[in-house]
């Protein structure tokens, strides 16, 4: 049976570089994150080519198709086959009959860079969005966010090795990290986390996301489509991200540090009072 995942990093030779003398010193070995072309094929027809780290590819397929509106539930996917090919990796997806017909009618195909957010969208009507506004829920306690941030770095082994990948963590309401997925693309990391959660039948009411990248609008959309009411970002949000968050009912906590963050709930942007210390 062929492997369903590839190596997330490779070792390459490098040298220290001096701005005065150039490359100097003895060669050293440095781990580099793997970036590969991942082709997603649905019903035998190409759908997307994304640049991603070839790890947790089944999670990626499930989360990506959910975020793109191709599927609405795990049962929409009848099977996934993953194979390494000369150009990279191919993920073959078999959809249930009605879902496949709906996908063929939609007839969308696109190619994506590592940072792609709307590749292939032809007009505004095709922009992904959740079907319904998320209902108000109990807010995540500041102490829970602080606890998740304190644990996050040690839960990112690939980034510790390469310093070149993004992470997306799902945390329970007490701030305990349930799972983390890593990838060279911020969207891919979140899609992988969403896919893992869907495959494990985890309820969106049970926690919140923490992402290590900037909080751009498509990250908010992905969280909303999954049903997560809170998205925490280590970096800053964009204007469209905050607009979408208000539209969809997602609370955005951004510029998150060990002791404090900014709360953008309702677009107010008030600093969390009392910080995030437990």
Angle between helices 57-67 and 186-199 (to 10 degrees): 100
Alpha-carbon dihedral sign for residues 188, 190, 193, 195:
negative
Q: Which residues are designated catalytic?
A: 116
CA distance 90 to 50: 10
CA distance 164 to 50: 17
**Which DSSP string corresponds to 48-107?**
EEEEE-SSSHHHHHHHHHHHTTS-SSGGGEEEEEEEEETTEEEEEEEE-HHHHHHHHHH-
Parallel, antiparallel or unpaired: strands 45-52 and 110-112:
parallel
Q: Please list, in sequence order, all residues whose beta carbon lies within 8 angstroms of the beta carbon of residue 25, skipping any fewer than 6 positions away.
A: 15, 16
Closest by alpha carbon to 8, among 217, 158, 111, 225?
158
Q: Please list, in sequence order, all residues whose beta carbon lies within 8 angstroms of the beta carbon of residue 70, skipping any fewer than 6 positions away.
A: 42, 47, 76, 95, 99, 103, 106
């Amino acid at each position: 049976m062929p492997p369903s995942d590839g190596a997330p990093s490779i070792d390459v030779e490098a040298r220290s570089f001096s701005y005065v003398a150039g490359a100097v010193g003895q060669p050293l070995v440095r781990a580099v994150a793997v970036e590969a072309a991942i082709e997603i094929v649905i019903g035998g027809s190409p759908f997307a080519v994304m640049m991603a780290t070839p790890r947790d590819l089944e999670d990626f397929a499930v989360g990506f198709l959910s975020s793109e509106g191709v599927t609405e539930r795990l049962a929409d996917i009848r099977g996934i086959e993953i194979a390494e090919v000369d150009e990279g990796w191919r993920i073959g997806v078999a959809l249930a009959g009605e879902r496949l017909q709906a996908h063929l009618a939609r007839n969308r195909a696109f190619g994506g860079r590592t940072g792609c957010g709307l590749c292939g969208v032809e007009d505004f009507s095709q922009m992904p969005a959740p079907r319904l506004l998320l209902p108000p829920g109990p807010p995540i306690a500041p102490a829970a966010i602080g606890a998740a941030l304190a644990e996050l770095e040690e839960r990112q082994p690939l980034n510790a090795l390469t310093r070149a990948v993004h992470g997306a963590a799902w945390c329970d309401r007490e701030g305990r990290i349930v799972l983390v997925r890593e990838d060279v693309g911020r969207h891919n990391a979140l899609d992988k986390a969403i896919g893992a959660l869907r495959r494990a039948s985890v309820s969106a009411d049970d926690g919140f996301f923490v992402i290590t990248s900037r909080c751009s609008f498509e990250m908010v959309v992905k969280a909303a489509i999954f049903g997560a009411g809170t998205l925490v970002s280590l970096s800053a949000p964009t204007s469209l991200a905050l607009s979408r968050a208000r539209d969809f009912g997602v609370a955005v906590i951004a510029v998150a540090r060990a002791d404090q963050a900014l709360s953008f709930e309702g677009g107010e942007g008030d600093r969390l009072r009392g910080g995030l210390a437990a």
